């Protein structure tokens, strides 16, 4: 019997794998089932990416072992579950329905195991079996599939049961999120521009990307900006100074009044801003509840290649609870789904060899 803590992408995909292999399981999930699946792609569900990229995961060694090695199997599993997809020019995969709900419904279609609406606060080991909250069990295997605090309002879901295991849990930080600034830009709030954004930390260029930038009362957002936040959070050194340079126009003109939105154009004129070199000082990111994912989580030093915990026999962890995060493009959901393949394979092999 397997206890699965979390009914997100990892927990639901793993349950489908267990159903196919006649393995009994129980899912524990507090609140809405598949909430991040439903939110993905603004409801269109950017379910995965047809192209694997090491750089999308900031060259994380464990991500490569989880995702790259199982990419073809994941694509086959989508078809087996009748999740038919299309890819855009950048490899972002969406269901043909362009509906996150249809993906969730297909993941739930074959699930016959119980889904118990409760928050897990503790794990106990008794006579070689695991129990949850001193009452649910016994379980031969446990899977931690809780995800991270990203997109939750305070108080965040409790991860005290993970802390009680004595694992190295790196601080969660909001990622795939907009940046705050102390620059006075409220007058251009709501303006949008397609340009190139470049992140500088301590005056060193970290990453550049083209896309749409959205100005807010006290910051900036947009997919390209959110990707920069992923690089910002993955920076390992001390940040003394951080800023973003924005090239507001890919081409040069004698006059930009018909190129930029009127209030953005007026702002650049009034403040004598170089159209190709607008500087936005960064004071931090927005709060966790606005983040699509979070960096931080269980350190990779605690995890074996099959995603079992090194310190505990038959406990596994995967997806966003691991200290692995990626840029936009379906990569984070792909990590969760691929984690289900790795964990499922390991547990199935363990049971078959008994």
Across residues 153-178, what is the average pLDDT? 85
Q: How wide is the angle at C-alpha 293 spanned by C-alphas 287 and 296, nearest 5°? A: 90
319 backbone φψ class: left, alpha, beta (φ>0; ψ -120 to 50): left
> What would the pLDDT profile of 17-67 be if each residue is shown by its tens digit?
999 999 999 999 998 999 899 988 888 999 999 989 899 999 899 999 999
Q: pLDDT tier at 185 (50, 70, 90 boundaries)?
A: very high
Q: pLDDT tier at 348 (50, 70, 90 boundaries)?
A: very high
pLDDT > 70: what percent of the chain? Answer: 99
Q: Are 227 and 199 in contact (CB under 8 A)?
A: no
Q: What is the pLDDT of residue 254?
A: 93
Q: pLDDT tier at 155 (50, 70, 90 boundaries)?
A: low
pLDDT > 90: what percent of the chain? Answer: 85
C-alpha separations of 135 from 24, 121, 125 in Å: 18, 11, 12
Q: pLDDT tier at 159 (50, 70, 90 boundaries)?
A: confident
Residues ≥6 apart with Cβ < 8 Å to 193: 212, 213, 246, 248, 249, 260, 261, 264
Per-chain mean pLDDT for the chain? 94
Bridge-partner residues for 170, per DSSP? 297
Across residues 144-155, what is the average pLDDT? 86
- Whether 335 shows a pLDDT value over 90: the answer reads yes
Strands (E), the chain: 2-5, 25-28, 48-49, 85-87, 92-95, 114-116, 123-126, 129-132, 136-139, 141-144, 169-175, 179-180, 192-201, 204-215, 219-221, 242-247, 278-281, 284-285, 293-298, 315-317
More confident residue, 158 or 315: 315
SS3 193: strand
Q: Are 148 and 297 in contact (CB under 8 A)?
A: yes
């Amino acid at each position: 019997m397997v206890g699965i803590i979390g009914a997100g992408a990892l927990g639901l995909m793993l349950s489908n794998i267990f159903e196919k292999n006649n393995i009994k399981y129980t899912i524990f999930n507090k609140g809405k089932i598949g909430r991040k699946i439903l939110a993905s792609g603004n409801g269109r569900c950017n379910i995965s990416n047809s192209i694997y990229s090491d750089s999308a995961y900031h060259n994380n060694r464990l991500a490569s072992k989880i995702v790259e090695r199982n990419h073809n199997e994941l694509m086959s599993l989508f078809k087996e579950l009748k999740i038919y997809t299309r890819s855009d020019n950048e490899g972002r995969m969406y269901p043909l329905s362009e509906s996150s709900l249809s993906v969730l419904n297909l993941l739930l279609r074959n699930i016959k195991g119980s889904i118990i609406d409760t928050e897990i606060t503790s794990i106990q080991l008794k006579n070689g079996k695991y129990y949850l909250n001193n009452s649910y069990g016994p379980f031969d295997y446990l899977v931690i599939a809780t995800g991270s605090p990203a997109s939750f309002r305070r108080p965040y879901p409790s991860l005290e049961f993970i802390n009680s295991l004595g694992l190295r849990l790196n601080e969660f930080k909001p990622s795939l999120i907009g940046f705050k600034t102390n620059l006075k830009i409220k007058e251009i709030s709501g303006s949008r521009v397609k340009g190139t954004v470049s992140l500088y930390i301590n005056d060193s260029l970290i990453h550049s990307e083209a896309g749409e930038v959205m100005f807010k009362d006290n910051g900036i957002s947009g997919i390209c900006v959110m990707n920069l936040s992923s690089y910002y959070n993955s920076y390992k050194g001390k940040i003394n100074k951080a800023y973003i340079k924005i090239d507001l126009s890919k081409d040069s003109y004698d006059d930009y009044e018909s190129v930029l939105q009127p209030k953005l154009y007026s702002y650049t004129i009034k403040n004598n801003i170089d159209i190709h070199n607008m500087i936005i000082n960064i004071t931090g990111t927005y709060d966790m509840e606005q983040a699509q994912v979070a960096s931080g989580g269980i350190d990779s030093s605690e995890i074996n290649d099959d995603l079992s915990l090194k310190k505990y026999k038959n406990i596994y962890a995967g997806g966003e609870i691991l200290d692995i995060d990626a840029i936009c493009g379906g990569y984070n959901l792909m990590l969760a789904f691929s984690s289900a393949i790795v964990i499922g394979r390991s547990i199935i092999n363990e049971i078959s060899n008994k």
